[in-house]
Amino acid sequence: MPLFFLMLVIWRRLARQMAQACERRAHLYPQRPPGRLNATEQRVILQAKAQMQLPVDSPLSTTFSPTLTATLNHHPQENDMSDIQIKELALWRKAGFEHLLIDVRRDVKRAAEADEISGGQWHNPALWMDWKDQVAATAPGQPIVVYCAYGHELSQALAVCLRALGRDARHLTGGIEVWRKAGLPVAVLTKSGGSS
């Protein structure tokens, strides 16, 4: 019995010392005004709304606490963040969440389909070694969404490449094909509609 009380006293003393150490270091961490969300928290909220199929302007964002946001961030399926679903990207676009959209369909396929998801930029996948560093340096802090015709090897491989360069890059699951089938808007290509 005395050993138990001794351990309890030691444990309390250690807990008190840890609490004091945390209080002394609190000034080192920047304080954010309440109600302001960083980009990661905004993205997590938009993902949760997409999964629950809620409208963008629903009040869910005001009910998210930092603890819940952190929990959602560490969800096993969210941890990899290597892909993005069609409804999630549509929600990002509707909410005005800033992201970089990259079309990596082969030039022949892109010309044959003659459309694109508006607001994106096309980069020739055959020349990816020439443009990967430029894209990785563009708009730091914004997630990159890479899409191809069907969301298979091209977009997945190039998203992996951009993640290796330190960017939050995801491939669009199902590509532009599923985007069209969902009835989401596409823009008709002009004759000169191309980048690198």
pLDDT at 37: 60
- Give, for 188, the enclosing helix (H) or strand (E): strand 187-188
Q: In this structure, are residues 149 and 175 in contact, taking their beta carbons and an 8 Å threshold?
A: yes
Average pLDDT for residues 156-164, to the nearest whole number?
90
Cα–Cα distances in angstroms (integers) from residue 31 to residues 27, 40, 67, 90, in the given order:
8, 16, 16, 32
Polymer length in residues for the chain: 196
Reported confidence tier of residue 155, pLDDT bands at 50, 70, 90: very high
Average pLDDT for residues 69-81, to the nearest whole number?
43
- Average pLDDT of the chain, as a whole number: 78
pLDDT at 108: 94
DSSP letter at 190 equals P
pLDDT at 43: 73
Q: Among 19-33, 81-95, 122-136, name the one with the lowest average pLDDT.
A: 19-33
User: What is the token pair recorded at 134?
Assistant: 């430029």
pTM over 0.85: no
d(CA 193, CA 119): 12
For residue 156, pLDDT beyond 70: yes
Average pLDDT for residues 119-132, to the nearest whole number?
93
Where would I find the beta strands (DSSP E) of 108-153?
A: 115-116, 121-122, 144-147
Q: Provide the percentage of residues in the chain whose pLDDT is more than 90.
A: 39
pLDDT at 6: 78
Q: Please, which residues have CB within 8 angstroms of residue 87's CB and are 6 or more apart in sequence? A: 50, 53, 182
For residue 30, pLDDT beyond 60: no
pLDDT at 2: 75
d(CA 80, CA 171): 12
Reported confidence tier of residue 56, pLDDT bands at 50, 70, 90: low
pLDDT at 195: 55
Reported confidence tier of residue 10, pLDDT bands at 50, 70, 90: confident
pLDDT at 77: 40
Q: What is the DSSP pairing of strand 144-147 with strand 169-172?
A: parallel
- Give, for 169, the enclosing helix (H) or strand (E): strand 169-172
| Helix 86-95 × helix 39-52 angle, to 10° | 120
